[in-house]
Amino acid sequence: MPVDRKKNSEQKKSDSGNLRNSLIVFLMWLLFLNLFIWPATNYKVEPYSKFIEQVETGQVAKVKIGSDRIYYELKSEPIDDRSPQDLITIPVASDTQLPAILRKHDVEFSAIPSSGGFFNVLNWIFIIFIFWVLGGWLLSRGSGGGSPAPFMFGKSKARIYSEGSTGVTFDDVAGVDEAKAELQEIVDFLERADKYIRLGAKIPKGVLLVGPPGTGKTLLAKAIAGEAGVPFFSISGSEFIELFVGIGASRVRDLFEQAKKQAPCIVFIDELDALGKSRAAPSQLTSNDEREQTLNQLLAEMDGFDPNTGVILLAATNRPEVLDPALLRPGRFDRQVVVDRPDKIGRQAILEVHARFVVLGLDVDLEKLAARTPGFAGADLANLVNEAALLAARNNRDSVTMQDFNEAIERILTGLEKKSRVLNEIEKKTVAYHEVGHALIGALMPGAGAVEKISIVPRGVGALGYTLQLPEEDRFLAIEDEIRGRIAALLGGRCAEELIFRKVSTGASDDIQKATDLAERFVTIYGMSNKLGPIAFEKTQHQFLEGYTNPRRPVSDKVSEEIDREVKAIVEGAHYIATTILAKNRQLLEETARILLEKEILEGEELAQQLDRVQSPAPMQQWLETGQLPPGIVLSKTTLNGKQKPKTTV
């Protein structure tokens, strides 16, 4: 961590900031004096009409006409040392009769040069100065620690971490061994460039790190700089995009200029997608000239330098699919390194890295924790360790125990426990049956792992209760029947409500959303539907980001209708199966819900005992495997409304 360096530069920044502030105050004060105090001390301003009147009645002796004011002297009060007041009036610009009137009344008059006066010139100097200082202040505020000198619009804001000062090494990055191995080569090149050049090898010009958020891409880039001991320029893609067209481009130019001077070095562009979005992106209504210019400049710069000079361009993104194809062609970012979510061994290694600074209790088993956290990225794991430590501190413990870690996992998965939200009796009962419904179906379905805990203590923003089901192993592929089973488990809560109360609540909306999404993916992305076949109906645009929906490929109305029908059939089939299971296990459902209502949390041995008793109905296996309900079963139209139980005509 470059803590010291940062503090230092912040210190410097605030020093120069103070200086600038006092300068501004001083100048403002001067300006104020100049405008209001100094000139006002000796003059008295009279209305123009009064002045004319005084001229016409012959009281005025002498007049000096300036562009914006007239100085005059009365016969009765000649200006000498004893009279402190000059008289001034502001002339009416359109009055061209004045000289004639003055001549008529025999007044001595002369003109004074227009921009005359020392103070006028000073005013301008002050005003310019103040704009200069203010501009510098605004700019330096925007650039976050860049040079405070004003008028440096085009200068690159790349922060330079000099030799080794990122303080991060490969030891701080764990669980992404393939990526590390690839990048090791770059470190090697920076250290022994001549070896490669002698053999005629060309080092890749640009290396693109791609992967989901929080997997350590930025961290890896910093580690490379730390390992290679060369200057490291880091800038985020969004920092190139400015209000004014052309500034981003000049910033790119400047960045590369600086880099070439400091070679060998590494230039790291984080969040490349902000600047390298495809110029032909279909979602874009208007073209973005600024971004396009910046991108073009980047492409030009990348062509313009020889990697053997020792400048290596590194970039990171979690949306490689939106990047302009020109960026990815050979000779530019010709090497892509995937930084993916870690597997179990990787997670354990990452936990070890972050647990270095934490006092661990004797019972903490990082391997077990790694097993319980599939899908967590490096950032999630770092967060987990920190949350656990915070919990331990809150409970005044000497060390962080396994219990803290388990609580932290739940916190991250489901949000904070809210003991204060009070449910009324009916709500509580509904939630209890709902959760037990999830648990019973979940226990029976393949692939989702064991149900570990059911709780009706409200958590997070929306969840009134939850069922925690943690997989025992990492899964990289899901089989058809597991997805069907997952959908059924999601609907289990709603089915239990229907079965017991004959009425449904709004509590299942999130489950229904998820179940429908999953069914849609089943058909349109995984190509698992028998009717529609292995055809993708969506364009994958978010490879690494979850929770985005992809646009549909253009399909005919007929196909579109078929997709809808198939999605509906899958969800309804799952609903039917879940209802059938719960109906068969109704006694168990009621008994378990009663225990849950009493204890609020059900876990461990007691929960396992209940779930062991779930019985599987005969048609389930067939449905899981084929999606076909046994012949003779007619799904009622109102099944999903829950007003009626599914009818069987057997």
Task: Show which residues are catalytic.
Answer: 435
Q: Which stretch binds Mg ion (CB under 5 A): 75-83, 214-222, 468-476, 551-559?
A: 214-222
Under the binding rule (CB under 6 A), the answer on residue 379 touching ligand ADP is yes
**Nearest-angstrom CA–CA distance, 639 and 579:** 10
Please state, in angstroms and rounded to a whole number, the distance separating the CA atoms of residues 635 and 573. Answer: 8
Of 4 and 177, the one with the shorter C-beta distance to ligand ADP is 177
Q: Side chain identity at 48, as an amino acid letter?
A: Y
117 contact choice in Mg ion, ligand ADP, Zn ion, none (CB below 5 to 8 Å, kind-dependent):
none
585 binds Mg ion (CB under 5 A): no
Residue nearest to Zn ion (CB): 493
**One residue of 350, 444, 448, 596 binding ligand ADP per CB under 6 A:** 350
Nearest-angstrom CA–CA distance, 549 and 539? 10
Verify binding: residue 378, ligand ADP, rule CB under 6 A.
yes
* Binding partner of residue 168 among ligand ADP, Mg ion, Zn ion, none, CB cut-off 5 to 8 Å per kind: none
What sign for the dihedral angle of Cα 292, 297, 303, 307? negative
**CB closer to ligand ADP, 137 vs 170:** 170
Is 213 a binding residue for ligand ADP by CB under 6 A? The answer is yes
Q: Which residue is nearest to ligand ADP (CB)?
A: 378
**Nearest-angstrom CA–CA distance, 590 and 638:** 24
Does position 175 bind ligand ADP by CB under 6 A?
A: yes
If the CB atoms of residues 24 and 379 are measured against Mg ion, the closer one turns out to be 379
Query: Are 237 and 269 within 8 A, CB to CB?
Result: yes
Minimum Å distance from CB 217 to ligand ADP?
3
The correct pick among 54, 140, 218, 317 for binding ligand ADP (CB under 6 A) is 218
Tell whether residue 173 is a contact of ligand ADP (CB under 6 A): yes
CB of 353 to ligand ADP, least distance (A): 5
Residue 213 binds which entry of ligand ADP, Mg ion, Zn ion, none, with Cβ cut-offs from 5 to 8 Å by kind? ligand ADP
The reply to whether 511 sits near Zn ion by the rule CB under 5 A is yes
Stretch that binds ligand ADP, among 62-70, 124-132, 173-181, 615-623 (CB under 6 A): 173-181
Look at residue 175 and give the partner it binds from Zn ion, ligand ADP, Mg ion, none, a contact being a CB closer than 5 to 8 Å depending on partner kind.
ligand ADP
140 binds Mg ion (CB under 5 A): no
* 317 near Mg ion, judged by CB under 5 A: no
Residue 495 partner contact from ligand ADP, Mg ion, Zn ion, none using kind-dependent CB cut-offs of 5 to 8 Å: none
Cα angle 566, 568, 571 (rounded to 5 degrees) comes to: 110
Please name which of 498, 446, 455, 434 lies closest in space to residue 473, comparing C-alpha atoms.
446
Instruction: Map residue 147 onto helix, strand or coil.
Output: coil
Instruction: State the CB neighbour count (10 A cutoff) for residue 368.
Output: 14
Is residue 489 a contact point for ligand ADP (CB under 6 A)? no
Displacement of CA 238 from its chain's centroid (Å): 11
Comparing CB distances to ligand ADP, the nearer of 221 and 578 is 221
Rounded CA separation 56/243 (Å): 60
Could you give the count of Cα atoms lying within 13 Å of 222 in the half-sphere of its Cβ?
A: 18
How is residue 459 annotated by DSSP? B
Q: Which does 176 bind (CB under 5 to 8 A by kind): ligand ADP, Zn ion, Mg ion, none?
A: ligand ADP
Query: Can residue 218 be called a binding residue for Mg ion (CB under 5 A)?
Result: yes
Report what 551 binds from ligand ADP, Mg ion, Zn ion, none; CB cut-off 5-8 Å by kind.
none
**With binding defined as CB under 6 A, does residue 440 bind ligand ADP?**
no
Our CB check for ligand ADP shows the closer of 216 and 627 to be 216
With CB under 5 to 8 Å by kind, the binding choice for 493 among Mg ion, Zn ion, ligand ADP, none is Zn ion
Residue 551 is given by DSSP the state: P
Q: Is 217 in the site for ligand ADP (CB under 6 A)?
A: yes
389 interface partner picked from ligand ADP, Mg ion, Zn ion, none, CB below 5 to 8 A per type: none
320 and 210 in contact (C-beta within 8 Å)?
A: yes
3-state secondary structure of 142: helix
- Tell me how far apart the alpha carbons of residues 452 and 439 are, in angstroms, rounded to a whole number: 9
Of positions 211, 307, 493, 642, contacts Zn ion by CB under 5 A:
493
Provide the CA 249 distance to its chain's centre, in angstroms. 24
> Considering the rule CB under 5 A, would residue 342 count as an interface residue with Zn ion?
no
Residue 278, phi-psi category: left (phi > 0), alpha (psi -120 to 50), beta (remainder): beta
Virtual torsion, Cα 572, 578, 581, 582, nearest 10 deg: -120
Q: Which residues within the stretch 446-465 sit at the binding site for Mg ion (CB under 5 A)?
A: none
| 311-317 and 265-270 beta bridge pairing | parallel
Query: 27, 133 in Cβ contact below 8 A?
Result: yes
The verdict on 55 binding ligand ADP (CB under 6 A) reads no
Structure-token pair, residue 604: 């461990």
Residue 459 φ/ψ, nearest 5 degrees? -135, 150
* 492 binds, options ligand ADP, Zn ion, Mg ion, none, Cβ within 5 to 8 A by partner type: none
Q: What are the respective helix, strand and coil percentages of the chain, to the nearest 5?
A: 50, 10, 35
- Contacting range for ligand ADP; rule: CB under 6 A; set: 44-52, 214-222, 397-405, 611-619: 214-222
CB nearer to ligand ADP: pick between 203 and 388 = 388
Residue (of 232, 267, 262, 265) closest to 252 by Cα position: 267
**Does 214 sit near ligand ADP (CB under 6 A)?**
yes
Smallest separation, CB 427 to Zn ion (Å): 14
Nearer to Zn ion, 60 or 581 (CB): 581
Sheet with 450-455, edge to edge strand ranges? 466-470, 450-455, 601-603
Number of residues that bind Zn ion (CB under 5 A): 2
- The string of DSSP codes covering 71-90 is EEEESSS---TT---EEEEP
Interface with ligand ADP includes 545 (CB under 6 A)? no
Distance CA 283, CA 268 (A): 28
Q: Give the number of residues written for the chain.
A: 650
The interface partner of residue 236, options being ligand ADP, Mg ion, Zn ion, none and the CB cut-off 5 to 8 Å by kind, is none
Considering the rule CB under 5 A, would residue 498 count as an interface residue with Zn ion? no
Pick the closer one to Mg ion by CB: 315 or 456. 315
- Quick one: tokens of 78? 């000649």
Q: CA 203 to CA 196: how far, in whole Å?
A: 8
- Contact between 585 and ligand ADP (CB under 6 A)? no
- 215 belongs to the binding site for Mg ion (CB under 5 A): no
The yes or no reply on residue 465 touching Zn ion (CB under 5 A) is no
Place of tokens 């979602």: 283
Q: Is 579 in the site for Mg ion (CB under 5 A)?
A: no
DSSP per residue, 9-66: HHHHHHHHHHHHHHHHHHHHHHHHIIIIITGGGGEEEE-HHHHHHHHHTT-EEEEEE-
State the Cα–Cα distance between residues 452 and 467, nearest whole angstrom: 8
CA distance 424 to 428: 6
379 touches which of ligand ADP, Zn ion, Mg ion, none (CB within 5 to 8 A by kind)? ligand ADP
Site for Zn ion in 243-262 (CB under 5 A): none
Which residues form the interface with ligand ADP (CB under 6 A)?
A: 173-176, 213-219, 316, 350, 353, 378-379, 382
Residues that bind Mg ion (CB under 5 A): 218
Q: Which residues bind Zn ion (CB under 5 A)?
A: 493, 511
